[in-house]
């Protein structure tokens, strides 16, 4: 039986750049950073929101053969760069404050903080094209 969600995968094309963005700019903490030589140097890299220990984002390099053939890998990279891959949603107690702080760190915003029926919402994009939202829920939701 399923008991909880533990990891949410996010495709990236450069794990070092992803680590810098997610930990250095977004302020997420590094949970695991392990290279596995027995799996061709596969790197298991996870980050998470400080204080929320039970869920991590897995920053996965888009694999080539034998997982994906070169054509499939290239197509995934193309779709990712277009911003067409699903991302993650972050919660915040102050989306406008987060917007100012993250904008100052060079984070690309696709949508400024906007009042929505469910609260205040802003959109960001990572260096690879992943779309993400920051949401400050109101009392109704």
| Full residue range of the structural domain in which residue 63 is found | 7-70+78-137
Q: What is the pLDDT of residue 86?
A: 82
Q: Is residue 61 part of a domain?
A: yes
Structurally, the chain folds into a number of domains equal to 1
Each residue of 93-124: pLDDT tens digit? 999 999 999 999 999 999 999 999 999 999 99
Q: Which residue has the tokens 């699903």?
A: 86
pLDDT tens-digit profile of 17-63?
A: 999 999 999 999 999 999 988 888 899 999 999 999 999 999 999 99
In a domain? residue 100: yes
State pLDDT tens for residues 63-95. 988 889 999 999 999 999 999 988 899 999 999
- pLDDT for the residue 38: 87
In a domain, 1, yes or no: no
Residue 39 included in any domain: yes
Q: What is the pairing mode between strands 29-36 and 42-48?
A: antiparallel
> What phi, psi does 87 have (nearest 5°)?
-115, -155
CA distance to 13, 42, 56, 119, per residue, from 5 (Å): 24, 23, 9, 24
In a domain, 48, yes or no: yes
The yes-or-no verdict on residue 125 having pLDDT over 90 is yes
Whether 10 shows a pLDDT value over 90: the answer reads: yes
What one-character DSSP code corresponds to residue 20?
I
106: left (phi over 0), alpha (psi -120 to 50) or beta: left
Q: How confident is the model at residue 141 (pLDDT cuts 50, 70, 90)?
A: low
Contact 114, 127 (CB under 8 A): no
73 contacts 81 by C-beta, under 8 angstroms: no
For residue 128, pLDDT over 80 is answered with yes
Q: What is the CATH number of the domain that holds 47?
A: 3.10.180.10
């Amino acid at each position: 039986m399923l008991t909880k969600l533990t990891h949410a995968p996010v495709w990236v094309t450069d794990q070092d750049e992803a680590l810098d963005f997610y930990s250095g700019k977004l302020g997420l903490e590094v949970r695991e950073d392990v290279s596995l030589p027995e799996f061709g140097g596969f790197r298991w890299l996870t980050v998470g929101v400080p204080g929320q220990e039970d869920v991590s984002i897995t920053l996965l390099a888009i694999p080539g053969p034998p997982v994906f053939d070169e054509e499939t890998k290239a197509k995934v990279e193309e779709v990712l760069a277009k911003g067409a891959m699903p991302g993650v949603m972050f919660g915040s107690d102050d989306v406008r404050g987060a917007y100012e702080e993250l904008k100052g760190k060079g984070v690309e915003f696709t949508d400024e903080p906007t009042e929505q029926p469910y609260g205040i919402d802003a959109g960001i994009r990572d260096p690879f094209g992943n779309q993400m939202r920051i949401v400050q829920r109101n009392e109704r939701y």
